[in-house]
Amino acid sequence: MTVNLLKLIVILDVYPINMKIMEVVRVKKLLFVFLIMVMVIMTGCSGETDAKKESDDPYTHHEVSWSDDYNGLKSTVQKVVTMDGMIGIKLVLENTTDHEFTTNATQGILTLNTDETIEGTKNSNPTTIGTISPGGKIVANLNFNVESNVEDINNLKLQWYVYDESKDISEQKKSYTTELEIN
């Protein structure tokens, strides 16, 4: 019985030590998991991912601000992008009236500060604009092939026509010339 009592004392004496070791191991595991989570969050918050995406983008983005309202047709140039041999212009046309407008900005004329003039886009989305129905909105990406070095371009003018179908033939044509500064 004395031997059994001694075994029990040893077990009870060692038990708190085993529990403390298990608690330390558990705390270390939790700390390790916490540190891993912090590292993942910090990696996700760093600007490295975004910068890499931007550096992989072949376009140079130029924020511009131009808009007009012609008898309820709101026209906005939201952005200009450039890359070697190409200029893209994001044009938004929104008809806020109850009648139609007609335009085809894809056949517009682009004039650059380098004295280069380009008539009509190479490709665009949509390929033609045409009629804008009442309440309709069109977002057009106009792409022009250019021979100039795009780094030398800091000013461009886009010319196109809009026709208000509710007006007499002599009054329905509006000529736009948008002058855009880019860096």
Structure tokens at 133: 């129905």
DSSP state of 54: H
Domain 58-181: state its class: mainly beta
Mean pLDDT across the stretch 33-61? 54
For tokens 């010319």, name the residue.
159
Lowest mean pLDDT among 1-5, 71-75, 91-95: 1-5
Return the pLDDT at 56: 78
Q: Which residues contact 140 (CB under 8 A, 6 or more apart)?
A: 90, 91, 92, 93, 105, 106, 124, 125, 126, 129
Whether 86 shows a pLDDT value over 90: the answer reads yes
DSSP state of 30: H
Mean pLDDT across the stretch 29-46? 52
Distance of CA 13 to the CA centre of its chain: 67
Mean pLDDT across the stretch 80-91? 92
pLDDT band at 21 (very low <50, low <70, confident <90, very high): low
Q: Which residues contact 72 (CB under 8 A, 6 or more apart)?
A: 95, 96, 97
DSSP state of 147: -
Cis amide bond preceding 58, omega within 30: no
- In tens, the pLDDT along 67-76 reads 999 999 999 9
Mean pLDDT of the chain: 78
Tell me the one-letter amino acid at 77. V
Instruction: Report how many helices (DSSP H) and strands (DSSP E) the chain contains, helices first.
Output: 2, 11
Distance of CA 58 to the CA centre of its chain: 13
Mean pLDDT across the stretch 7-23? 55
Highest mean pLDDT (candidates 4-13, 51-60, 163-172): 163-172
- In tens, the pLDDT along 104-136 reads 888 889 999 999 999 887 666 666 678 899 999
> Who wins on pLDDT, 167 or 7?
167
Q: Write phi, then psi, for 147 (nearest 5 degrees).
A: -95, -20
Lowest mean pLDDT among 4-18, 39-53, 94-108, 143-157: 39-53
Whether 40 shows a pLDDT value over 80: the answer reads no
